[in-house]
Structure 1
Amino acid sequence: MFSKSNLLATLVGAIVMFFLGYLIWGIATVDFFEQHTVVNVMKEVPNMGLIALANLIAVFALSTLYSKWARGHHSAGQGFQFGVWIGIFIGLGMGLLNYATANFMDMTGHIVEAIIDIVFFGIIGAVISLVYQKTATKE
């Protein structure tokens, strides 16, 4: 669990998750999601330290799960596929659950969020996989 590969994948993945997340949700899609928000529950100024910590914890969990899932065979494609399944779980599974139980966004917002989650976590999975591939022990 605390292997060199896992810790490096966690560090690199968390950095990518933080900055890519900011580019996607903090810049590129802000106007879109404002139009599809039903009840705005966002803080005026987000706590960037807690966001960074949350990303670190999330990527540690993803990296640990990926290491079990990959079974020593690492490629960007396999990592992307792993991330896509995570994105489906979060974006579609949890997103539709949120739509069914809360007034956060309209259906269009949730569908777009699901698509973004699938691609976003696919990229994170590919990054994790590439770090594992580069740090794997040579036989």
Structure 2
Amino acid sequence: MIEVQGLRKTYGDRVAVDGISFQVEPGRIFGLLGPNGAGKTTTISCLSGLLKPTAGTIRIAGHDVVTDAREAKRSLGVVPQELAIYLEISARENLRYWGGIQGLSGKDLDDRVETILARVGLADRAKEPVKAFSGGMK
């Protein structure tokens, strides 16, 4: 379940999200609709732990995204607006970055990165910049 209560995010004097609350039950499909600048992306960024809320609480599967971020992130998947690959860094560095965002670190992160590289057939090219890869490899 996703529970959002009084979510507020500001940037200085500018209010990006102003006290929204909602709940999404397990197994439900939920969408955020609104005009450009309404705070949809900011809300998702707060839900996924990329941004820290100015106020309010967000719980994913019972875990607070601020105080129990690692467990909260394990229960949430996010599909970004754009291709979420940094072309100038290696496949390994990309996976380490995104794994870190998901709350992995240390040996857990290293093991997971190597497992994924092997699974997708990129272990031998893990150090190359992603910009050198074909579209399918990306």
Range of TM-score over shorter length: under 0.3
More strand by share: 2
Q: Name which structure has the greater RCO, CA cutoff 8 Å, separation 6+.
A: 1
Q: Please, what TM-score do these two structures have when normalized by structure 2? A: 0.26
More helix by share: 1
Rg comparison, structure with higher value = 2
Q: Please, what TM-score do these two structures have when normalized by structure 1? A: 0.26
